[in-house]
A = this chain, B = another copy of it.
Amino acid sequence: TSQKHKDFVAEPMGEKSVMALAGIGEVLGRRLEEKGFERAYVVLGQFLVLRKDEELFREWLKDTCGANIKQQGD
């Protein structure tokens, strides 16, 4: 996993921005913010509501912010 992800999981996510998530940079972060997913915990919530299903979550990410395969993986 990337250093970014290591940093992220090293402490409680609290109110961290969505851009603190590995794979989510400036461009994807903006798109997610525009759709109401400003905080990392809201994206976590979406993952849980998708029943932690990786395939559904990847598809949702792609539809919502255009994340490519690598970014989805991160």
Contact = CB atoms under 8 A, between A and B. Distances in A.
A24 B58 CA distance: 31
Report the contact-size class of chain A (Cβ under 8 Å from the partner).
10 to 19
Interface stretch (A2-10, A25-33, A46-54, A66-74): A46-54
Copies of this polypeptide in the complex: 2
Interface of A is mostly: helix
Nearest to A50: B45
A56 interface: no
A63 to B, nearest CB: 16
Nearest to A38: B51
- Nearest first, the 5 A-B pairs at minimum CB distance are A45-B48, A45-B49, A45-B45, A41-B48, A46-B49
